[in-house]
C-alpha cells in the first residue's frame, strides 16, 4: 500500500532557486531564453530543455512550474537514469494489485502524482522504446494505463522534459521515436554552455561566493583579478555546476592558489580528451580546441627559449610582434616572465610534454 508519506517523498520539493538576475545574467541568448520561458510557462504545452550538463536545466524546469497556473499543484521530478529500466514503468505509470509477482497492492505512478501540476522528466533519452510509446499516448490524450489495469486513466499534467543529448541523433540511430520528439519539442529551450556566456562568469562567481560564505559562515575574500581572468579563459566542461563547486571549495579552503593550479591541471586533462563514444562528439570543436592548445604550447616553448623576449619569439614563429601579443593574451599566457602565474603555467606545460 502506498502511504501518504511515501507519495510525498517522491514529489520533489522545489528547493532554492537563485535570483532571476543571477540565473539569466546579461547575455542576449539568456535574455531571449527568459522571454521564451515566460511566454511558455502559462500555456499547457510540453517544453523540451536541452543543454550540456550543469547549464541549469533543472532550475529552468522549476521556474517554469513556479510561473505556471499549476504552481500550487505538485512538481514531480523523475530522474530517468537513476531508476533501473525494469522499475521505470511502474514508477512512472503505477500498477494494480497482482499485476506482477510482488505487486501486493495498487500503487499510483509519478504521472498520477503530478495531476494538475508539472511532471519533469529528466534525461528523457533514457526511456526505452516501449515507455516512449506510453508517454506519447499520455501527451496525445492525457491517458495512460497502470500496469495490470483494465482501463486507462486520465490526468491533467504539464510535461517538461530535459536532456543533455542530441535527440535528433538518437532518432537517426533508432533509439528515440520521432513522433515523441515532435510531441515533447513543442517549445524548445536551449541552455547555452557557460563558455558561450563568459560575460556572466563574474556575476555568477560573486553570487556563489556570497551564498557559500553565508552558508558556511566563512569570510573568503573577493577573487583576485588574476584568478578572475583565469576563470574567464577556462573552457568549463561542467558549466555552472563546475563554477559553483570551484567557488564552494575556495570558500571552504580560503586559498586561491589551490583553485588556480587546479584549473591549469584541468585544462591539461581537457586537451588529452578521453572521448566518450556513448555521447555526441563534435569533431570540429575538438579539432579547434586541440589547435588552440597546440598553438599555446608552441608559443610558450618559444617564449621560454628566447627568455621571454617577445620580439625574438615573434621572429622565430614567423608572425608579427602584434600578432604574438594578441595570441599571448588570447591563450591566457602571462604577458611577461615576471608575472606570478608564469612558473605554474610553464611547470604544467613541461610536465605535460
Ligand X SMILES: Nc1ncnc2c1ncn2[C@@H]1O[C@H](COP(=O)(O)OP(=O)(O)OP(=O)(O)O)[C@@H](O)[C@H]1O
C-alpha span between 227 and 233 (Å, rounded): 10
Site for Mg ion in 54-113 (CB under 5 A): 57-58
Burial of 301 (0-12, 13-18, 19+ CB in 10 A): middle
Residues 226-245 that bind ligand X (CB under 6 A): 240-241, 244
In the bound state with ligand X, the residue whose beta carbon lies nearer, of 64 and 240, is 240
89 is in the binding site of which of ligand X, Mg ion, none (Cβ under 5 to 8 A by kind)? none
Which entry of Mg ion, ligand X, none binds 125, CB below 5 to 8 A by partner kind? none
**Which three cell numbers, joined as nine digits, stand for 187?**
517549445
Check binding of 123 to Mg ion (CB under 5 A): no
Candidate residues 10, 33, 48, 55; the one interacting with ligand X per rule CB under 6 A: 55
Q: By CB under 6 A, tell whether 54 contacts ligand X.
A: yes
Residues 140/179, Cβ–Cβ less than 8 Å: no
* Backbone phi and psi for residue 107, each to the nearest 5 degrees, phi listed first: -145, 125
How big, in percent rounded to 5, are the helix, strand and coil portions of the chain?
55, 10, 35
Rounded CA gap, 344 and 337, in Å? 11
3-class secondary structure, 190: strand
- Alpha-carbon gap, residue 345 to 340, rounded angstroms: 10
Cα–Cα distance measured from residue 92 to residue 155, given in angstroms and rounded to the nearest whole number: 13
Instruction: Decide if residue 18 touches ligand X (CB under 6 A).
Output: yes
Which of these segments, 53-61, 213-221, 249-257, 274-282, binds ligand X (CB under 6 A)? 53-61
Find, among 207, 245, 224, 170, the residue nearest to 339 by Cα.
Answer: 224
Q: Which partner in Mg ion, ligand X, none is near 132 (CB below 5 to 8 A by kind)? A: none
* Cell numbers that stand for 45 in this block: 504545452
Q: Does 126 bind ligand X (CB under 6 A)?
A: no
Minimum distance, C-beta of residue 105 to ligand X, in the bound complex (Å): 33
Residue 240 binding target from ligand X, Mg ion, none, CB below 5 to 8 Å by type: ligand X
> Closer CB to ligand X, residue 54 or residue 334?
54
Does 192 sit near ligand X (CB under 6 A)? no
Taking the C-alpha atoms of residue 13 and residue 74, their distance in angstroms, rounded to an integer, is: 9
- Where in 46-65 is the site for Mg ion (CB under 5 A)? 57-58
Which stretches of the chain bind Mg ion, using CB under 5 A? 57-58
Which stretches of the chain bind ligand X, using CB under 6 A? 18, 22-23, 51, 53-59, 164, 240-241, 244
Amino acid at each position: 500500500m502506498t502511504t501518504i508519506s511515501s507519495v510525498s517523498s517522491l514529489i520533489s520539493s522545489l528547493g532554492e532557486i537563485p535570483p532571476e538576475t543571477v540565473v539569466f545574467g546579461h547575455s542576449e541568448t539568456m535574455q531571449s531564453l527568459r522571454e521564451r520561458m515566460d511566454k511558455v510557462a502559462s500555456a499547457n504545452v510540453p517544453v523540451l530543455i536541452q543543454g550540456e550538463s550543469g547549464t541549469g536545466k533543472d532550475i529552468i524546469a522549476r521556474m517554469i512550474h513556479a510561473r505556471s497556473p499549476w504552481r500550487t499543484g505538485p512538481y514531480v521530478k523523475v530522474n530517468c537514469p537513476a531508476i533501473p529500466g525494469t522499475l521505470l514503468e511502474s514508477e512512472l505509470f503505477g500498477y494494480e494489485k497482482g499485476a506482477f509477482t510482488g505487486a501486493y497492492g495498487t500503487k499510483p505512478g509519478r504521472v498520477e502524482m503530478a495531476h494538475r501540476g508539472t511532471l519533469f522528466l529528466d534525461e528523457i533519452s533514457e526511456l526505452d522504446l516501449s515507455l516512449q510509446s506510453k508517454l506519447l499516448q499520455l501527451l496525445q490524450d492525457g491517458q495512460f494505463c497502470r500496469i495490470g489495469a483494465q482501463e486507462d486513466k486520465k490526468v491533467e499534467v504539464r510535461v517538461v522534459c530535459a536532456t543533455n543529448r542530441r535527440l535528433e541523433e538518437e532518432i537517426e540511430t533508432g533509439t528515440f521515436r520521432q513522433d515523441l520528439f515532435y510531441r515533447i519539442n513543442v517549445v524548445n529551450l536551449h541552455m547555452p554552455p557557460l563558455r558561450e556566456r563568459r560575460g556572466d562568469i563574474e556575476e555568477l562567481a560573486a553570487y556563489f561566493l556570497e551564498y557559500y560564505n553565508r552558508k558556511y559562515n566563512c569570510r573568503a575574500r573577493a577573487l583576485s583579478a588574476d584568478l578572475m581572468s583565469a576563470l574567464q579563459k577556462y573552457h568549463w566542461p561542467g558549466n555552472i555546476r563546475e563554477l559553483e563547486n570551484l567557488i564552494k571549495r575556495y570558500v571552504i579552503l580560503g586559498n586561491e592558489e589551490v583553485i588556480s593550479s587546479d584549473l591549469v591541471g584541468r585544462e591539461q586533462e581537457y586537451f588529452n580528451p578521453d572521448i566518450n563514444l556513448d555521447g555526441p562528439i563534435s569533431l570540429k570543436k575538438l579539432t579547434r580546441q586541440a589547435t588552440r592548445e597546440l598553438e599555446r604550447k608552441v608559443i610558450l616553448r618559444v617564449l621560454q627559449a628566447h627568455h621571454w623576449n617577445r620580439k625574438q619569439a615573434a621572429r622565430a614563429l614567423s608572425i608579427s610582434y602584434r600578432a604574438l601579443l594578441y595570441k599571448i593574451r588570447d591563450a591566457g599566457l602571462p604577458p611577461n616572465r615576471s608575472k606570478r602565474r608564469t612558473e605554474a603555467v610553464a611547470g604544467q606545460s613541461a610536465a605535460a610534454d
